[in-house]
Structure 1
């Protein structure tokens, strides 16, 4: 074997050895890369799904809890509104009764009765009840009118009768800008004839009250 042939043979061997090493290196590198990818997929990507599911479950639980809490809070709110309305109505009624009691603290003097059906008659310094009406005043006897409501307020302030224990039997003309009314409590144990006079800008003012023996409203029909 010549030296040239020997050298060529050695070169082929070296090339084959280098190629084998390169292939081995690439195989090892590929295996490592594959293992890394599998590890990432198993331990990294695998955790994301349960975490998302857990977060979703927690959000759903929070939403349900919030909805339940809101529902529970709505009922007391509705009850409070109802209770507030009842308390306000009760307070207004009490205030009205207190105002009427204060209005009753007036100076009165007994006067001669106008007829035989009167037990006692007296005049007093009652104050006008106020008015929401403006301009020239015309007496309006129609039920539900502002004038009629203010007449009722004046009568109740003078007699002490209140809504729920009050009955109007008759309201009629008592003269120029004056009215006379027959009223009583619910069971007619107290029957009054009340005289009112209109004060411009101030409303109806009680001027005289007569306590009657019996309800005489029928004679005015």
Structure 2
């Protein structure tokens, strides 16, 4: 009887030991699983901020690009404004010059209009300081005087009929009466004046009636 009891007792102890061993193994597996999950999960969490920090400069670069874009756009209108201002200044200068032209209608009997334009300039000369004042047709002085007369009328000297060209009270002043070729009924009286070392220039143009 005692032997049976002892064998039963030993069997119970073996079963209990096996149960303990199984529980210990289960607990060990759980510990390993939970520990591995924590390690793997923590690693992924730590890499995320690094990725975010790496992406942040890109967004800053994008912001810089966006900031630069309006500046570039604002520079172009500035160039356009300068061009517009220059064009406006040129137009204003032209208007001022044209407004300085004096045109007098019917200033005296036989004169339809009288024009004085401050923008008229000397036509240049080969004669030096003073003109020859010979009024010889075909001479250098004659040709230069006709060039000044043509500049005042707006007609090429070769396309003019010269009715008269002579002294106008001083060696440095002359007066001419001309017509465009083929328009004998249209006559202009042009006063010209000598500019030292620069040649003759028109001073007054009268359209005769």
Q: Please give the range of the TM-score, normalised by the shorter of the 2 chains.
A: 0.3 to 0.5
TM-score, structure 1 length as denominator? Answer: 0.45
